[in-house]
């Protein structure tokens, strides 16, 4: 089994559970909780709890949030490689409604100051990774360098292009072996990088051949996994790189779950996918996606982001 390196954000999440998401001008009552989050940290915790030796490269402030990250990483056996920032540790304000849906506002803080030079200094650790996983809550040039260093060393690079409004470039995408947008991120990337328009709400119902053709335009040489929430996932490979699968594109059904909070479900999927890939690169790619799907579904049955990640390992194979 080879290690997973996650490069990304840590946030202190401030969460209000309320009946409905607030409309502009509304004042609502809700139940408050706080806990660890940030797409990067959530994914690192998921990878670790799915059985991978995990390192997390991030930037933290010299404050209570930074101390929280250090303590929690240590509790989960995650090697924390943190750039000390003069900015405060990242924060997120999250509303969760009665259906488990959320709205999030982030204050990037230290996450926005994760420098390429710091990632460059982590090259020896990155070179030992089997899988490098990154998202877009960190500066795009830093993420691009991390992906480039990992690929140069022979690791599989997974880019979760979240959130949808984050900056991305063609060069950044080109460093991803596997790209994992949700339907909103997929629509945003298609508009930005390919000039194709599709409504996010229409992605799940679009026929497979059309989705595959769009995925091929977006990432001609890599694999695209579109996560579709309660509908499952769509996988599209380059014709000459099926990663052990029999078909270039296919759908995987969602796993049933009694969802109470979908915050971090995408992060659960990505962390579990990276852990599964790192544990057995020989298995068919679809098996890794099925495991990630099960893992993400289980994460929605508990409240919170990083703390909702289940301890669940893929079958050895
Ligand atoms: O993906 C969920 C995460 O997005 C939250 O934990 C929040 O911190 C934001 O980064």
What domains appear along the chain, each with residue ranges and CATH number?
4-22+31-308 (3.40.1190.20)
Is it the case that residue 317 has pLDDT exceeding 60? no
- Model confidence over 102-125: pLDDT tens digits? 999 999 999 999 999 999 999 999
Report the nearest-CA residue for atom 8 of ligand 1: 38
Is it the case that residue 282 has pLDDT exceeding 90? no
Quote the ligand 1 centre to 282 CA distance (angstroms): 31
Quote the ligand 1 centre to 185 CA distance (angstroms): 15
Give me the percent of the chain exceeding a pLDDT of 70. Answer: 99
Q: How far is CA 281 from the centre of its chain?
A: 19
Q: Which residue has the higher pLDDT, 182 or 101?
A: 182
Distance CA 266, CA 277 (A): 16
Residue 13 known to be catalytic: no
Distance CA 260, CA 263 (A): 9
Residues with CB under 6 A from ligand 1: 9, 11, 13, 37-39, 42, 92, 104, 106, 137, 263-264, 266-267, 305
Pairing state between β 102-107 and 90-96: antiparallel
Quote the ligand 1 centre to 190 CA distance (angstroms): 23
Is it the case that residue 316 has pLDDT exceeding 90? no
- Model confidence over 195-252: pLDDT tens digits? 999 999 999 999 999 999 999 999 999 999 999 998 999 999 999 999 999 999 999 9
Report the nearest-CA residue for atom 10 of ligand 1: 38
Ligand 1 atom with the shortest distance to the CA of 266: 1
Distance CA 14, CA 244 (A): 41
Report the nearest-CA residue for atom 2 of ligand 1: 264
Question: Which of 42, 135, 262 has most ligand 1 atoms within 8 Å of its beta carbon, as the pocket-test mutant?
Answer: 42
Quote the ligand 1 centre to 103 CA distance (angstroms): 10
Quote the ligand 1 centre to 213 CA distance (angstroms): 30
Quote the ligand 1 centre to 69 CA distance (angstroms): 14
Distance CA 110, CA 60 (A): 5
Ligand 1 atom with the shortest distance to the CA of 102: 2
Q: Cα–Cα distances in Å, from 173 out to 22, 30, 168, 181, 182?
A: 34, 39, 7, 12, 15
Question: Which of 68, 72, 94 has most ligand 1 atoms within 8 Å of its beta carbon, as the pocket-test mutant?
Answer: 94
pLDDT given at position 315: 79
- Model confidence over 61-102: pLDDT tens digits? 999 999 999 999 999 999 999 999 999 999 999 999 998 889
Is it the case that residue 129 has pLDDT exceeding 70? yes
Ligand 1 atom with the shortest distance to the CA of 41: 6
Which residues does 151 contact at the CB level (< 8 Å), separation at least 6? 132, 157, 175, 177
Ligand 1 atom with the shortest distance to the CA of 91: 8
Q: Is 271 helix (H, G, I), strand (E, B) or coil?
A: helix
Q: What is the mean pLDDT of the chain?
A: 96
Strand partners, 226: 234
Distance CA 167, CA 58 (A): 18
Handedness of CA 15, 187, 276, 257 (dihedral sign): positive
Is it the case that residue 193 has pLDDT exceeding 60? yes
């Amino acid at each position: 089994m080879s290690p997973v390196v996650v490069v990304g954000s840590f946030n202190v999440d401030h969460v209000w559970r309320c009946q409905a998401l607030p409309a502009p001008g509304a004042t609502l009552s809700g139940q408050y909780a706080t806990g660890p989050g940030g797409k990067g940290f959530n994914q690192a915790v998921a990878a670790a709890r799915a059985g991978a030796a995990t390192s997390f490269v991030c930037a933290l402030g010299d404050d209570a949030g930074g101390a929280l990250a250090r303590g929690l990483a240590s509790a989960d056996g995650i090697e924390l490689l943190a750039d000390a920032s003069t900015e405060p540790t990242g924060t997120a304000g999250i509303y969760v409604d009665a259906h488990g849906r959320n709205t999030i506002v982030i204050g990037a803080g230290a996450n926005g100051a994760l420098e390429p030079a710091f990632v460059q200094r982590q090259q020896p650790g990155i070179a030992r990774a089997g899988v490098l996983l990154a998202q877009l809550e960190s500066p795009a040039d830093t993420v691009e360098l991390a992906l480039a260093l990992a690929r140069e060393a022979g690791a599989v690079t997974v880019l979760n292009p979240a959130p949808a409004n984050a900056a991305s470039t063609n060069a950044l995408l080109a460093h991803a072996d596997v790209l994992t947008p949700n339907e909103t991120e997929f629509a945003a990337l298609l508009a930005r990088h390919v000039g194709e328009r599709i409504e996010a709400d229409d992605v799940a119902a679009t026929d497979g051949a059309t989705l595959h053709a769009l995925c091929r335009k977006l990432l001609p040489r890599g694999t695209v996994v579109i996560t579709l929430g309660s509908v499952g996932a769509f996988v599209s490979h380059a014709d000459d790189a099926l990663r052990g699968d029999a078909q270039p594109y296919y759908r995987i059904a969602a796993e049933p779950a009694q969802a109470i909070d979908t915050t971090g479900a995408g992060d659960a999927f990505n962390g579990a996918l990276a852990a599964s890939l790192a544990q057995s690169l020989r298995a068919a790619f679809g098996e890794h996606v099925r495991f990630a799907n099960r893992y993400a579904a289980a994460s929605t049955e508990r409240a919170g982001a990083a703390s909702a990640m289940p301890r669940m390992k893929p079958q050895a194979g």
